[in-house]
Amino acid sequence: MFFKKFKSFIAIILVATFIMPNYVLAYSKYIVAGGENIGLQINNDGIIIAGFYKVNDSYPGYDANLNKGDTIIKVDGKDVKSIDDFISSIENGNKTNLKLTYKRNNKEMDTTLNLINENGIIKTGLYVKDMVSGIGTLTFIDPNTKLYGALGHEVLESQSGTMIDVKDGKIYNSTVTGIEKSERGEPGSKNADVNSNTVYGDIKENTISGIFGNYTREINKDNLYKVAEYEDIKLGSAKIITVLEGNLKSEYDINILKVNNDKNSNKNILFEITDDNLLEKAGGVVQGMSGSPIIQGDNIIGAVTNVVVNSPEKGYGILITSMLEEAEN
């Protein structure tokens, strides 16, 4: 009798063990801090409408009730993944109209786009894109999973403000060639050359917490930083790591003014730049600096995400734990 009860007890324990949810995160406690300038190219999953143009006194795109930022995913019932697919659909179609399926706010919708023959050239009235490119800063590499994170914010199509839906992409080596300084009301930017022959990794995700993927080059594990939890972050002095010239990573002093733990935001850390050298060269936070790791003591606490436009010596950063958690999804 005791043996039967014991077996039942064991079974209950085993069942309880197997159904208990596992919330343990797999990212490493110590990670490699980035700071390198990177180039990036992301191919969108579908064709983004970036704008409209007039054809014979009409706007075919407007007439079809299309908006900037809509993503065309099918033409005449067939999937389209690139501009080449879109052109092929026009060439092989009836030359009069296209039956489009498109996404808007994650909802699929259908419409008919009338084509116009102007002097023997078929015109759609649409400006479209199937990829974006740019520069930013690498934030971290997890030496165990070989996952990386960069930018600390999403990549948007510049004309429509639409978030890119990743089909595939890559990050590359990039060399900073100059800085356009930030001024009050007008953020500056890094200028850089991208070396597409030197691939650092692939791009799997584009989220409000940054871009993420697999780092494919050799990882230098000599200089690891401990991952700081929200409770570990202190107001006061810290540093950012970024590149202002060539490929030279440097540390620059900042002062952390406020911190919050909003998981739905990439503006968790408000800081001001106190480093005279950085202020002299860049005037404050500039575009292309997004993703620069924020270091406090021996900890990596976050990454630069935004400039305060009317006060460019100030900026925002995202918590490093938010980026690491997103990298695992």
**What residues act catalytically?**
153, 275, 290
Can you tell me whether residue 61 is helix, strand or coil?
helix
At residue 327, φ and ψ (nearest 5 deg) are -60, -30
Q: Cα–Cα distance between 167 and 162 in angstroms, integer?
A: 15
**Residue 212's beta-bridge partner residues?**
149, 205
Q: Is residue 114 within 8 Å of 57, Cβ to Cβ?
A: no
Tokens of 40: 């990036």
Which residue matches tokens 């409209």?
52
Give all strands (DSSP E) within 67-216, no chain letters. Answer: 71-75, 78-79, 97-104, 107-114, 116-118, 121-123, 126-141, 147-150, 166-180, 188-202, 205-207, 210-214
Residue in 286, 253, 291, 287 with CA at minimum distance from that of residue 272: 253
